[in-house]
Structure 1
Amino acid sequence: MTAERGETAAETRRGWTKARAILAGGLVLGVGAAITLAAWTDNEWATGIFGSGNFGIEGSTDGTAFSDHSSEAEAADLAFTVGAENLAPDDVVYAPFAVQLERDSTYDAEVTIGQAVDPALVGVTADYVFTDTLGCSEAAYAAGTDENAATFALGSLDDVQNVCFRVTAGDDLPQGVNGEITWNFAAVSGDAL
């Protein structure tokens, strides 16, 4: 009986040894399989670089020196013809202004003109036309186009829109008044140049 017990114990130990060997082999195979899977891992990457364009308009009273007048406080002083600060009924005065895209603009523009007449200037009217050149006089005004057109386009860096302003004093202009007429050129960007 002892011999049988000894054989059974030896067989049991051999069984455990085999089981351990199989488990160890399985662990080795598992590690090998994990290594094999890692060898087949791959990555792909992509990136883009982004930035923004530039956009703006600028104006000139002489058609040569353009600059940015970005607020009403920084408005360009128009050079009206003689007598603009000493108007009498039926007087008419003229002044030119030119608008273009800023030199670093990368988009075209749609520009809307707005004007505001100081209420103190009773009877004074203001209007404008677009002209081919910057000169502004009675003759230039008469030859101009699109009187009081609300909008114009600047489609390239070479485009310059010349505007001729005309201010007329009416018969009901009171004596001794002072006031301003302000024009606003509001630009909205459009297509890339």
Structure 2
Amino acid sequence: MTIERAETAPDARQGWTKARAVLAGGLVLGVGAAITLAAWTDDEWATGLFGSGTFGIEGSTDGTAFADHPTEADAAELDFTVAADNLAPGDVVYAPFAVQLERDSTYDAEVTIAQTVDPALTGVTADYVFTTALGCSEAAYAAGTDENAATFALDSLADVQNVCFRVTAGDDLAQGVTGGITWNFAAVSGDAL
């Protein structure tokens, strides 16, 4: 029995060789394209550093020693004229207070004043004016401006708002009572300094 060997046609062999050559060439081209692509890659980066500003107000009863009084319990005790704790009908007492931005503030402020009079002090009234210098007396009060104005601005670290408070005991003040009057200075930040 004779086994005949099947001869691969030269055209078929040549086609397979061409196919292998094309595949090998494609592989080389693919690697070359990847290398070329990596050579033309470029990056650009940007970053920013962020933080917040600072803001606050502080007060002083003498215009020199300023401090933070953040709650009613921490309120600065105003230095009213003599006998403020021993009032009689018709008495009038005065006390100064100064307000400025905290030294590390980076924003200006709009400040609103609100006052609360203890109900036990029937017949006692309280009011205030803004003055150009710290000091509070009948004359300073008379020279003051914007009586009972609700707001004022602190536009720079150099700004100081001086306030002169006046408390008057009315004819219907009862004997033997005690009570307080509280002033709240509520500041809202505005523009950057």
TM-score, with length taken from structure 1? 0.94
Q: 1:65-76 residue pairs with structure 2 within 5 A? A: 65-76=65-76
CA deviation profile, 1:79-115 (whole Å, cap 9, x unmatched): 0001110111111000000000101111111110000
**Are 1:114 and 2:114 counterparts?**
yes
Distance 2:15 2:144 in 1: 110
Q: Which amino acid aligns with 2:143?
A: A
Q: Which residue of 1 aligns with 2:81?
A: 81
What are the Cα deviations for residues 39-88 of structure 1, in whole angstroms up to 9, with x where unaligned? 11111111111111111100000000000000000000000001110111
Letter in 1 for 2:188: V
* Structure 1: unaligned runs, 5 residues or longer: none
How many positions carry a matched residue from both structures?
191
Q: C-alpha distance in 2, partners of 1:111/1:5?
A: 105
Alignment of structure 1 residues 102-141 onto 2, 5 Å: 102-141=102-141
Percent sequence identity over aligned pairs: 82
Instruction: Within 5 Å, give how 1:18-167 maps onto structure 2.
Output: 18-167=18-167
Q: How does 1:164-179 map to 2 (within 5 A)?
A: 164-179=164-179
In structure 2, distance between residues paired with 1:182 and 1:114: 8
The normalised TM-score by structure 2 is: 0.94
State the alpha-carbon separation in 1 of the partners of residues 44 and 19 from structure 2.
Answer: 44
Gaps of 5+ in 2: none
- Answer 1 or 2: which has greater helix percent: 1
Q: Deviations over 1:159-191 (max 9, x none)?
A: 111000000000001111110000000011111
Q: Distance in 2 between matches of 1:7 and 1:154?
A: 100
Q: Corresponding residue for 2:185?
A: 185
Partner deviation per Cα, 1:129-183 (whole Å, 9 max, x = no partner): 0111111011111111110000111111111110000000000011111100000
Query: What's the counterpart of residue 6 of structure 1?
Result: 7
Distance 1:4 1:183, change over 3 A: same
